[in-house]
Amino acid sequence: MLQRTASVNNVEMDSLAIASVFQIGDSNLIQGFSRAIAVQREVELFFDNEGNFANYPIFSEPLPLIPISETINMSRQNINPFIKVGNIDIIGVSSSSIVHLGNTNHVTLETRVKHIRQLSPKK
| CA distance readout (Å), 112 to 30, 36, 74, 87, 117 | 18, 7, 33, 32, 16
Task: Determine the pLDDT at residue 13.
Answer: 93
Task: Determine the pLDDT at residue 2.
Answer: 56
Nearest partner of 106 among 30, 20, 13, judged by Cα: 30
SS3 13: strand
Q: The whole model's pTM is what? A: 0.67
Task: Determine the pLDDT at residue 9.
Answer: 93
Kindly list the domain boundaries of the chain, sorted by start residue. 5-67+79-118
CB 20 within 8 A of CB 90: no
Task: Determine the pLDDT at residue 15.
Answer: 92
Task: Determine the pLDDT at residue 107.
Answer: 86
Task: Determine the pLDDT at residue 60.
Answer: 93
The Cα 37–Cα 46 span in angstroms is 13
What residues have CB less than 8 Å from 34, skipping those under 6 apart? Answer: 18, 19, 95, 96, 110, 111, 112
Task: Determine the pLDDT at residue 30.
Answer: 86
The Cα 58–Cα 60 span in angstroms is 6
Instruction: Give average pLDDT by consecutive 10-residue segment, the chain, 123 residues.
Output: 79 88 87 86 78 90 89 82 89 86 85 87 78
